[in-house]
Amino acid sequence: MSAIATPVAGERLLGRTMRGVRSWLPALAVLVLGIGLWEGLVAALDVQRFLLPPPSDIVRTFWDDRDALWGAGWYTFKEALGGFVIGCSAAILVALVLARWRGLSSAIMPYAIAANAVPIIAFAPITNQWFGLLNPLSKMVIAAVLCFFPVLVNMLRGLTSVHPSSIELMRSYAAGEVEIFRRVRIPNSLPYLFSALKVASVLAMIGAVVGEYFGGTQEALGVQIRNSAALFAFETAWAAILVASILGICFYLAVALVERMTMTWHPSARAAE
Amino acid sequence: MTDAAAVSLRQLGKTFAAGEVTALQEIDLEIQPGEFISLIGPSGCGKSTLLRVIGDLIRPSTGEVVVNGKSAQQARRDGDYGIVFQDAVLYDWRTVARNIALPLEMKGWSAKRRDERVRELMELVELTGFEKRHPWELSGGMQQRVSIARALSFSPALLLMDEPFGALDEMTRERLNGELLRIWQETGCTVVFVTHSIAEAVFLSTRVVVMSPRPGRITQLIPIDLSQPRTWETREEPRFFELVTELREALHGGSGREPSLRAAAE
């Protein structure tokens, strides 16, 4: 295979790029069509501005208020990132402990799974009270708790769903528990961990923004969305939502990039080439 | 006498589920260095359990296991055996070369020694050129060859194999049988081989241990007196067919009776 590939490598790269562009074309067309339709319908049906502003107005506000919007976005993103780091680290640590002492796991996991079903966002007013309305920690805690459970459940599954022969093999080499974790369980858990981290990156952003709806500094994105909506400045609200979306997507892609770099060995990495 | 044996089992018994299931009963067996022993019997006869008891992966309930003149536990700690399972059990996150080098890493070999040893082993199992591939890029037969190379990496005196070719197609299995015999002769190790296949057991072994199920015990020891080295022609010798017949009869309850068939006919 590689023997044929070398002389035409340049052509192949070009071909792959073209194919990449072509595979994106339908999605791009839907985007352009959707925005065009939105713009057209808002004008044609004379929709009230506070119900749905046209995309052109949103983009104008997005550009005119860019400093304030991105400043607020960055503030909120830092809260989300802080919560993500705290929640995911705690979940990874707890998963390691529970995987090592399985008796503990059967005592604790039912509650963890039950807690996973609790709408944690509902606790936002309470954490605001506990840690202070203006303290970014009150939002980080919500984001952290949101991240904690999916990461815990997935990481634990990854650590424990190891082929029994894998463990027997390691025991035949007289490996202890630490070595079995280092060489088998942890590498085995990475694909599970990363799919949970991607979910957690989205949840962290949601946690931070919604936490801010219940109060926070004026420089936070969630507070700006709430206030501008209350003042009928819907273009600003939509532009702020756009900022939150862009940051959320970038966060997700950053985690996906780390995944690709960490797990070059994984079959999915090769298939996506 | 027992000190010279590669594996010595005395009055071995194993019960599971708090004594309700007897997996092994009154197993006595001496395996001499350099022998190729197959354990054969129907499913549930405890042959895989017996293999794991020898490897100290399962503790026996009664009796004694001596491997290379020491307790099975000590032998495992000293790395006296290599093991191959039905699944190749390769780690996807390691390349072929690094899968083979895993036990050497764990024994603290230097990178240079490891590389040299891996190169030798890749030649031994005829996989040179596949060092940088990942396990999931290989066929089942190739994966199992990697697994055998890994088991042999630290030159153990004893090789334990649990139906290593059970999941492979017949042609691949026969080719790997030939390769395994060549490796056995080159390394001079002792092999304990669990199988379901009568022809495979006859072709490979110097002795075949026939086991019966529930409780698992040894019903017969059949020496295989086919000449060495064994080749493709071995499978066509009249003596090969005689031994296959003898082993089949031993498996079906001794003197040519076929209890299950007769029961079905009645």
Handedness of CA B10, B16, B18, B24 (dihedral sign): negative
pLDDT(A272) > 60: no
- Helical pair B111-124 and B140-152, crossing angle rounded to 10 deg: 130
Specify if B76 maps to a domain. Answer: yes
The predicted pLDDT at position A10 comes to: 67
The 10s digit of each residue's pLDDT in B43-73 is 888 889 999 999 999 999 899 999 988 998 9
Cβ-based contacts of B102 with chain A (< 8 Å): 173, 183
Q: Which among B87, B94, B103 is the nearest to A173, CB-wise?
A: B103
Closest CA of chain A from B168, distance in Å:
18
Domains of chain B: total: 1
Q: Please, are residues B219 and B211 in contact by the beta-carbon 8 Å criterion?
A: yes
Could you tell me which of B102, B105, B92, B97 has the C-alpha nearest to residue B125?
Answer: B97
Partner-chain contact B93 A174, CB within 8 Å? no
Interface A–B counts its CB contacts (< 8 A) at 52
Q: Which among A163, A175, A187 is the nearest to B89, CB-wise?
A: A163
Provide ipTM, 2 decimals: 0.85
Specify if B18 maps to a domain. Answer: yes
Specify if B92 maps to a domain. Answer: no
Specify if B41 maps to a domain. Answer: yes
The 10s digit of each residue's pLDDT in A209-240 is 998 888 888 888 888 888 888 888 888 889 99
The 10s digit of each residue's pLDDT in A122-163 is 888 888 889 888 888 889 999 999 999 999 999 999 999 999
Specify if B61 maps to a domain. Answer: yes
Closest CA of chain A from B139, distance in Å:
15
CA-CA distance, B134 to B151, in Å (whole number)? 18
Confidence of residue B209 (pLDDT cuts 50, 70, 90): very high
What letter represents residue A23's amino acid? Answer: S
**Phi, psi torsion values for A101, nearest 5 degrees:** -115, 90
Specify if B111 maps to a domain. Answer: no
The three-state secondary structure class of B125 is: coil
Specify if B62 maps to a domain. Answer: yes
- Average of per-residue pLDDT across B119-145: 88
User: Mean pLDDT across chain B, nearest whole number?
Assistant: 86
Tokens 């509902």 appear where? A122
- Whole-model pTM? 0.81
The residue segments making up the domain with residue B6 are 2-80+197-265
Tell the burial category of A268 from Cβ atoms under 10 Å away from its Cβ (0-12, 13-18, 19+). Answer: exposed
Computed over its alpha carbons, how large is the radius of gyration of chain A?
A: 24
Long-range contacts of B196-199 (CB under 8 A, 24+ apart): B196/B40, B196/B43, B196/B163, B196/B166, B197/B40, B197/B173, B198/B40, B198/B244, B198/B247, B198/B248, B198/B251, B199/B235, B199/B244
User: Which pair of tokens denotes residue B109?
Assistant: 């070999």
Peptide bond into B229 cis (omega under 30): yes
Residues 6+ apart with CB under 8 A from B190: B6, B7, B31, B32, B33, B34, B35, B36, B37, B157, B158, B159
- CATH number reported for the structural domain that contains residue B17 in this entry: 3.40.50.300
User: Which pair of tokens denotes residue A38?
Assistant: 């939105």
The predicted pLDDT at position A112 comes to: 84
